[in-house]
Chains A and B, each alone.
Chain A
Amino acid sequence: MMKRKATVNITECVACGCCMKVCPRNAIGIPKGVYAKINRDLCVGCGKCASECPASVITLEVTEP
C-alpha cells in the first residue's frame, strides 16, 4: 500500500513551530531553528501539520512502502 508522509519545503519553512504543536504523534521538531524536521518513522500522514502551516510549505508525498 502507498503511504503518504508529510514533507517540508525546507527552503521556504519559517520555523514557526505551528506544525510541531498540532502533530498528534510528536513527530516534528525544529532542532536548529531553521526548518521543521519530520520523523518519517512516526509520521502517519494525517495532514494536520500541512493544513496548519501558515506558510503552506508542508505537503503530503507518497513514499515507498
Chain B
Amino acid sequence: MKQKKKWYDYLWIVSLSYLILGYFNILFAWLGLLCFFIPLIIAVVKGNKAYCNRYCGRGQLFSLLGGRFGLSRKKDIPKWMRSGYFRYGFLSFFFAMFFLMLWNTYLVFAGTKDLNTAVTLLWTFRLPWRQAYHGTLFSEGVAQFAFGFYSVMLTSTILGLITMILCKPRSWCVYCPMGTMTQLICKAKNVTSSRKS
C-alpha cells in the first residue's frame, strides 16, 4: 500500500522558495532561523527527530531531485563520511564558521566594519549579491546577518547537492550538522530518561 501524502510532504516547496527569495531580497534569509530552532525545540521538548523524519524540506528536495529526477548515482556513502569523527568534526567546523559569521555581524552592528553585500560560498568564494539588498529599516547588521545566514544555507545546499549526485539522494542527512546535533540531544535526553525510570 502506498502511503497517502500529508501536508508536510510538500515542505520541499518551502525550502526551494527560501533559496529563490534570498536571491531577490536577502532579508528573507532570516526565515532560515526556523530550520535552526524548530528541530532543536522538537529534540529538546519531545526527544525525537521528527523534524528530520517528517518536516525537513531540504531532505525532501534532495530525495526528489536524486530519487524521482534520477540525479543521483545512488552509491554507498564512503565509510569515513558516516563515522562519528567526520560527523562531529563537521558539526564543530560548521559551528566555528557560524560563530565567525556572528562575529562579523556583530562588527557591522558595532560600526567597525562596513556591510559586505556578498554571499560566501563554501566559506571561501565571494559571490556578489548586491541585487538582493534594498536597504534595511534597522541597523546594517540586520542585513549582514542575512547575508551570512544565506551563505550558510546556500553552502550546505551545494554540499548536499554534490553528495546527492555522488552518493545516495539524502546523503546530506548523514553529516547534516542539525541532524547530528538533534541526535546528540536525543541521545542525552534518553540517557537521562532511562535513568529516571
Q: Which residues of A contact B (CB under 8 A)?
A: 12, 14-18, 20-21, 24, 26, 30-34, 51-57
Q: Are A56's CB and B182's CB within 8 A?
A: no
Q: A12, A30, A51, A54 — which one has the most chain B CB atoms within 10 A of its CB? A: A54
Number of interface residues, chain B, beta carbon within 8 A: 37
| B137 at the A interface (CB under 8 A) | no
Interface flags for B62-89 (1: CB within 8 Å of A; 0: not) read 0100000000001011000011000100
Cβ-based interface call for B169 (8 A): yes
Structural contact, A32 and B48, CB atoms closer than 8 A: yes
Indicate if the CB atoms of B186 and A54 lie closer than 8 Å: no
Q: Does B134 contact A (CB under 8 A)?
A: no
Find chain B residues with CB under 8 A from A53 CB. Answer: 168
Q: Cβ of B173 and Cβ of A33 under 8 Å apart?
A: no
Residue on B with the closest CB to A23? B3
A54–B169 contact, CB under 8 A? yes
In the complex the two chains form, what is the Cα distance from A35 to B182 in whole Å? 12
In this complex, the member of B47, B48, B74 whose beta carbon has the largest number of chain A beta carbons within 10 angstroms is B48
Chain B residues contacting A55 (CB-CB under 8 Å) are 77, 82, 171, 173-174
With an 8 A cutoff between CB atoms, is B59 at the interface? yes
How long is the Cα–Cα vector from A24 to B171 in the complex, in angstroms?
21
Q: Which residue of A lies closest to B171 (CB)?
A: A54
Nearest chain A CB to B184 CB, angstrom units: 9
The reply to whether A16 and B186 contact each other, CB–CB distance below 8 Å, is no
Given A14-B179, A30-B48, A33-B183: A24 in contact with B1 (beta carbons within 8 A): yes
- B49-57, B97-105, B149-157 - the one binding chain A: B49-57
> Which of A20, A21, A56 contacts B168 (CB under 8 A)?
A56
The chain A residue with its CB closest to the CB of B169 is A54
B194: nearest residue on chain A (CB-CB)?
A32
Residues of B within 8 A of A15 (CB): 49, 52-53, 179, 183, 186
Return 28 A-B CB contacts under 8 Å, by A number.
A12-B83, A14-B173, A14-B180, A15-B53, A16-B174, A16-B179, A17-B53, A17-B54, A18-B63, A18-B170, A18-B173, A21-B53, A24-B1, A30-B48, A32-B47, A32-B186, A33-B47, A33-B50, A33-B182, A33-B185, A33-B186, A34-B183, A34-B190, A53-B168, A54-B168, A54-B169, A54-B170, A56-B168
